[in-house]
Amino acid sequence: MIDAGATWTDERVELLKKLWTDGLSASQIAAELGNVTRNAVIGKVHRLGLSGRAKDAKPAAAAAARPRKATRAPSAPAPLPPQPHPGNVVIAPVPLQPVTKEPEVFVAEEDVAIPMSERVTIMDLRESMCRWPMGDPTKPEFRFCGARSITGLPYCTHHARIAYQPVADRKRERKLARA
């Protein structure tokens, strides 16, 4: 909120314009004016339509007070550190261990018999029920699984196994499907 001391009087606006054309930053102008924020200065400058300045514009007094650094000609690029000879390092190949674990076989939805009494419509679906869709959503026979869901998940144990397969298993199944 702007208090009574921070209103834009004609004198303050004139001082803002002068400081802006002198090249002071919005923060410096806010400090000089007092009782006003940097954002308020930027907003007023915008509303007044004052011209933008070059990005490297510096206040004249600050630029004169600061000595300039002497510039020098660019030097040659620094030499790269010596590279080891390719024959110095030997990396032994790590033999791959054969996978002895049998891949888990997921039973397709059609292979599991879910009694019609457990299947529910969207109107009967509750938080603790499996939300796995069954059938064509455009048909009146469309239902959800309705079995008891796993706590914290939307699916029962069977459908969670289908929905949440580890990445390695999904890749393996894709390879088997292609063959």
Distance of alpha carbon 106 from alpha carbon 170, whole angstroms = 11
Angle between helical axes of 26-33 and 10-22 (0-180°, round to 10) = 140
Please tell me the predicted confidence (pLDDT) of residue 176: 75
- pLDDT > 60? residue 112: no
CA 91/CA 83 separation, integer angstroms: 17
**pLDDT, tens digit, for every residue of 35-82?**
999 999 999 999 998 877 755 545 555 555 555 565 666 666 666 666
Q: What is the pLDDT of residues 122-175, one digit of tens each?
A: 888 888 899 989 889 899 888 898 888 898 889 998 888 888 877 776 677 777
Residue 2 banded pLDDT, cuts 50, 70, 90 = very low
Kindly give, in sequence order, each residue whose CB lies less than 8 Å from that of residue 106, ignoring residues fewer than 6 positions away: 161, 162, 165, 173
Task: State the pLDDT at residue 164.
Answer: 84
Q: Are 29 and 20 in contact (CB under 8 A)?
A: yes
Beta bridge partners of 133: 144
Task: Give the confidence band of 109 by pLDDT, cuts at 50, 70, 90.
Answer: very low
> What 8-state DSSP symbol labels residue 62?
H
pTM: 0.33
The residue with greater pLDDT, 81 or 18, is: 18
